[in-house]
Amino acid sequence: MIKAGIIGATGYAGAELVRLLLGHKETEIKWYGSRSYIDQPYGDVYRNMFQLVDASCMDDNLEALADQVDVIFTATPQGFLASVLNEGILSRAKVVDLSADYRIKDVAVYEKWYKIGHKSPQFIDEAVYGLCEINREQVKKARLVANPGCYTTCSILTAYPLVKEGIIDPDTLIVDAKSGTSGAGRGAKTQNLFCEVNENMKAYGVASHRHTPEIEEQLGYAAGHPITISFTPHLVPMNRGILATEYAKLNRKPDGSLPSYEEVKAVYDKYYKEEKFVRVLEKDVFPETKWVEGSNYTDINFKIDERTGRIIMMGALDNLVKGAAGQAVQNMNLLFGLDESEGLDLVPMFP
């Protein structure tokens, strides 16, 4: 059995990790870390865990935790892991970090967008960006995995094949993404109160959202050169889900014509046909958050707009599963040589 510890077990992503790992045949949770609820029974914090989890919450001492487990999940705010990670911890346990501390390779870019100093940049180069469908082989050999977030996972997977194959001009890429409120975390914030969110939709982080450089960096690797995109997130009044609608200029073929539906579909199939957790939908069937809720799937499709010479790409996922905890479990499975889908055979919930 793989012994796992979770730091940040009482946040939304941490609680989702608990839910998934309780259904994982090869894993045992040994540490429910939560600075806010130390010594309180986990089942009192989340009543859905009553009689399922009999442990109490512990602190966030990674040094002690590394001696007791094989893998540490850190579902913590930006800056926490970077402030405490050291070689001793990494030599004793593998780490899957759900924050952004090791996702961006350029320290200056991280510090500019997150507005905090990075306390352990020596580990950035070895950290593997844990988007399994793209970096599967690198994840298998890693000690430290930078688990991508929800907006980035959806945005990157939706456009990646077309960027990689040169079907679109990536510098024309516009990402319009919408998220359920659980993506904002469990902390008490006025802007996330029911009366502030209900019956409302708003853009935020306009031209300044900190996931922008992460999307640019990863799609830049696919393009083979740095790219610049426009990314605008929106908050919508639902619990879960990400829907990304992306627009880009199609590169014309030598004869001046646009790629056909069949040609674009063949590119998506080349990258995703064998991927369990990416579903490329049938023609003119477009992703909806309700069809991926509670699952580790990402649904993707596209529409060519011949009038404008652009393509509209769409992706949907559950921000707490494939966008956070599910992807973290998928990464853990790769790290320990397990079936990648172990613990993740989750049928989407509806209604």
Catalytic residue list: 150
CA 115 to chain centre: 21
Q: How far is CA 97 from CA 45, 74, 114, 223, 284, in A?
A: 23, 5, 16, 26, 37
The answer to whether the Cα torsion of 69, 74, 80, 85 is positive or negative is: positive
Rg (CA), the chain: 20
What is the full DSSP assignment across 268-314? HHHHHTT-TTEEEPPTT----GGGTTTSS-EEEEEEEETTTTEEEEE
Nearest to 325 by CA among 36, 121, 114, 27: 27
Asked if residue 327 lies in contact with residue 296, where contact means CB atoms within 8 angstroms, the answer is yes
